[in-house]
Structure 1
Amino acid sequence: MSVTRRYREAWEGFWSEAPDEQGAVFWDAEPALTVGLHLALLEPHLAAIGLPVLDLGCGNGTQTRFLADRYPRVLGADLSGAAVDHARRADPAGQAEYRQLDASEKGAVDQLHAELGDVNVYMRGVLHQCEPAGRQPLADAVATLIGERGRALVVELSEAAKPVLMGLAQSPDGPPPKLAPVFAHGLAPGEVADAALFGHVRAAGLTVVAEGDIPLITTEFTADGTRIELPSKWLVVAREE
């Protein structure tokens, strides 16, 4: 299957309107607060360090470029062509490669795996905002891409994040400026229950090597100047042996 036209157009619209500067998007926090912390969770479990690294759902490539400073081959992939355009503009030196990819489309994922071989996958905040029918295909794609030797770090909003988001959306002054475009384009973050996250992983033939809780850092602040952090889960997963 592939994503619906409505979902694809929602993301194209969002990224087409997003400013270029880093930090202008709600989840585009500086890498030291995001992927930098996440790598410390993933790296102890990497079985094959020399594999290419795939940033799945790379958006404008902020985290991808950080990964490219640390690994010899890094590729960022995103459903949205506009997001990929942002990523390429922000990386004029071509530190990383960027590709438009519908990760729910099995043929495209199989083709990418045939090209790259097994990879280590970094995926932050992608599954929780997928359409329901696209969640299992996305988990299956992770399993295909990591193959026998790779590992994936999956960081997703926990179910505890949804009431936080709803509270922000329904505040008397309206949602914070960087969160408003997410809702305006019909995107629905925080829609996956914790048990469902683990269920998708198991159904994809993946095993959880390590797990825990970590806040997902955003670029937005409350009226009193507190940075908004959303409860999230992290999993390191591998193919079941």
Structure 2
Amino acid sequence: MNDRVALVTGGSRGIGRAVATRLASDGFSVVVGYAGNADKAASVVAEISSAGRNAIAARADVADETAVTAMFDLAEQTYGGLDVVVHAAGIVGLAPLADMDLAVLDRVVRTNLRGTFVVDQQAVRRVRRGGAIINLSSSIVGLAFPAYGAYAATKGGVEALTLILARELRGRDVTVNAVAPGPTATDLFLKGKDEEAVARLAAQPPLERLGTPHDVAEVVAFLAGPAGRWVNGQVLRVNGGIV
């Protein structure tokens, strides 16, 4: 896969960073998409480059179609094409429905749902035959934790879009799937949670631990590689067995 190219949005931290470095280890040239933290994106590029692989950073607001188009243009201009797009960028806004600030709701919908549509639209137009489009959803769609209404609603939309897109690409030899992590030990997830809350969440899966970004990246790498070619139009719950 040394001539294959992957673009990873949200690639500067958390799950996106783990995916970017994992795909690079499989031989992909990687475009590290990021929203605002250039230093973190640069550190991912440096890590990949130090391992002898190719990587560049590209800044884009995923809900801005002009910026996303420019990011995809940069990928093609630099590496000649695109084979895999992993859309990992997203934000969380937590509050009970009755208390949710509608301005926060609008931001969550804009980034998570519109952002997925904008990125996937470019991916559909650019990904070469034999490629893959992989969206990040969340197991919260099924777990239905209180205060996650806005976030879960957008991720439910991501799953619907993923399944429809897989069918729209009939005949293209491009797979489209979603990966839906459960509670995962990222800075975004751990922010604002005390030790008791983290321990309670870690105890829920039969495997009795939180997921790690590496756990999720392994599943994404499977879907992006030759072993995952017969998996299409699916949502994979990567959560250690939480019901």
Q: Give TM-score, length-normalised by structure 2.
A: 0.51
- The equivalences for 1:1-241 within 5 A come to 50-60=3-13, 61-82=17-38, 83-88=40-45, 90-91=47-48, 93=50, 95=53, 96-115=55-74, 116=76, 117-124=81-88, 126=90, 131-134=108-111, 135-146=113-124, 147=126, 149=128, 150-158=131-139, 159-163=141-145, 189-192=151-154, 194=156, 196-201=157-162, 202=164, 206-207=168-169, 209=175, 215-216=181-182, 218-219=184-185, 221-222=198-199, 226-228=208-210, 236=232
> Identity, % of aligned pairs?
12
Unaligned 5+ segments in structure 1 are 1-47, 167-187
Unaligned 5+ segments in structure 2 are 94-106, 191-197, 221-230, 234-243
CA distance in 2, matches of 1:204, 1:218: 26
Aligned residues: 166
Secondary structure class of the residue paired with 2:210: strand
CA distance in 2, matches of 1:229, 1:165: 21
Cα contact 1:78–1:99 (8 A) shared by 2: yes
Relative to structure 1, the CA distance from residue 137 to residue 126 in structure 2 (aligned partners, 3 Å threshold; closer, same or farther) is closer
Per-residue CA deviations over 1:63-102 (Å, capped at 9, x if unaligned) read 2111111124111111122542453465562743222222
Larger helix percent? 2
CA distance in 1, matches of 2:67, 2:178: 31
Q: Give TM-score, length-normalised by structure 1.
A: 0.51
Report deviation, 1:56. 1.4
CA distance in 1, matches of 2:210, 2:133: 26
Relative to structure 1, the CA distance from residue 51 to residue 199 in structure 2 (aligned partners, 3 Å threshold; closer, same or farther) is same
